[in-house]
Structure 1
Amino acid sequence: MVRYSSLVIIFFAFLFPNDVEASIVKKSKSGICHDENSPYYARTKSFLTFNSIQSCLESGGRLPKSQGKPSGKKQFVPDKIPQHLAGKDEYSRNKFGNGWADEDGDCQNSRMEALISQSLVEVRFKSNKMCKVVSGKWISPFTGDTIFKASEIDIDHVVPLSWAWKHGANKWANEKRVKFANDPANLLSVESSLNRSKGDKGPDEWLPPKNQCQYILRFQRVYKSYELLIASAEAAKLAVIQKTYCGKDS
């Protein structure tokens, strides 16, 4: 955090009025962080100064209801997801394929393959056809608890399908959406109750009871690998959440 006295600000504002205003983020007395895109930026006269929205938030500040683009230059994130890319069309599960895919045609769909690969012991199948898993040994990444019955497990999409739809997947080809819905990198064997309580929420609205940092980092890896879009206000929230649970150097 960098603080400037009123005289210094006035002096530099006189010399470079546009550059000085655009280079700082103002934290008002009420604790709201305003960058140059905030409608209240010019009207905020009593404030502490920061060099980025993120540093202002990390000091205990909060975003205004109408958030503009952060002044940091390191990475571009849009103020809002562009309307031609945002998932304004109605989401439905079948936009990502009709359930779990069996791409190699071996009768084991992607749910079963996730159960097989994530079990700590050899799984047991319902029949000799080896299509449906009924038991194994899974350690839930959400709680650390052990689960033995496949019927008690949901396969969680780390980045929920509905969340992806709203962040650009509505413009993908059908093949890419099916791939995303069945990508092992996006699948976790977890308790059914927790998967359903999560729903389509991102990390800014829901985190598991344990292993929050690992979950946050995996969420980020998946959405970045698929180049999903995220607005600046949401990105700022996620950055604060990551620092809270993962530490400064994550």
Structure 2
Amino acid sequence: MARSSWATVWVALATVPLALTAGCGTDEDQAPRDDAETRPSADPRALPGLPDVDSAREQLAALTVAEPASMDGYSRDRFPHWSTEDGCTVRQQVLQRDGEDVRVDDDCQPTSGTWVSPYDNVTVTEAGEVDIDHMVPLANAWRSGADEWNDDEREEFANDLTRPQLLAASARSNRAKGDQGPEAWTPEAEEFHCDYGRAWTAVKHHYDLTVTDAEGDKLGEMLDTCG
């Protein structure tokens, strides 16, 4: 995770007579407008909080290597999602962030747009057919340390928009990935392996989650693709 640059988008918006709000909610003081508005889009491969390669290598070296913990007590309900902020759910925010020419209604729900899944380069044109993937799957996190967190901490992890933990992906690729680590599943799009390795490492490092030997080795291989 070619898109139009932010500068181009804002120049285009400047020519529109009615100002568009930057937030997710509606502005009652605005003049009447259509029930949808266009949101500026970013490159879905430009994940937030993605470390540079050297930093990722340092983070990988600092991770604790351990065998996976038991799945006893695991449930997706132990990771509450999706949270809502300013009238938009986290899912809706990721759809807006990762899509191109995304239009939303007054409830912040995308009504049109285009999403290119970085896992397999599949283009999706219906928001309902886009999955929001947890880079480090919830079950994987449970097995690597999240079983000891409280539910508030797990909710923060499951809704993290600050780090490279959430991205829009095709349903096919997301479901093929499941809860597997990079030692068992890697994106079909090889050009995304560098970012995938950096993102996975960054999330595990920030949340002090463990990795297995095989997982760590595979992450190192993925970082080697960065050049």
Is the shorter-chain TM-score for this pair beyond 0.5, marking a shared fold? yes
TM-score normalized with structure 1 length: 0.59
- For residue 122 of structure 1, give the secondary structure of its aligned residue in structure 2: strand
- For 1:76 and 1:111, locate their aligned partners in 2 and report how far apart those are by CA, in whole Å: 29
Count residues in correspondence. 163
Comparing 135-144 with 155-164, greater Cα deviation is found at: 135-144
Structure 2, unaligned stretches of length 5 or more? Answer: 1-60
1:101 aligned partner: 83
Deviation at 1:105, TM superposition (A): 5.3
| Match status 1:112 vs 2:92 | yes
Paired with 1:167 and 1:156, the residues of 2 have a C-alpha distance of 18
Higher relative contact order (Cα pairs below 8 Å, separated by 6+ residues): 2
Q: CA deviation at 1:223?
A: 1.1
SS in 2 for 1:189: strand
Q: Which amino acid counterpart does residue 119 of structure 1 have in structure 2?
A: G
CA distance in 1 between counterparts of 2:103 and 2:111 reads: 7
TM-score normalised over the length of structure 2: 0.64
Partner of 1:236: 217
* Structure 1 position 130 matched with structure 2 position 107: yes
How much has 1:241 moved relative to structure 2?
4.5
Query: Which residue does the alignment assign to 2:184?
Result: 205
Aligned to 2:47: none
The equivalent residue for 1:225 is: 206
In structure 2, give the amino acid aligned to 1:132: Q
Partner of 1:15: none
Taking only the aligned residue pairs, the percentage that are identical comes to: 35
Cα drift, residue 131 of structure 1: 3.3
Judged with a 3 Å threshold, the aligned counterparts in structure 2 of structure 1 residues 235 and 122 are, in CA distance, closer, same or farther, namely closer
Higher radius of gyration, 1 or 2: 1
C-alpha deviations, 1:122-148, integer Å up to 9, x for none? 3233xxx32322321222211233322
Aligned to 1:92: 75
Q: What is the correspondence of 1:46-195 to structure 2 with a 5 Å cutoff?
A: 75=62, 77-78=64-65, 80=67, 86-97=69-80, 99-102=81-84, 104=85, 106=87, 108-125=88-105, 129-184=106-161, 185-195=164-174
- Residue 19 of structure 2 corresponds to which residue in structure 1? none
Residue ranges of structure 1 left out of the alignment (5+ in a row)? 1-73
* Runs of 4+ with deviation above 4 angstroms: none
Distance 1:119 1:79 in 2: 37
Superposed CA offset, 1:36-69 (max 9, x none): xxxxxxxxxxxxxxxxxxxxxxxxxxxxxxxxxx
Tell me the CA shift for residue 175 of structure 1: 1.1
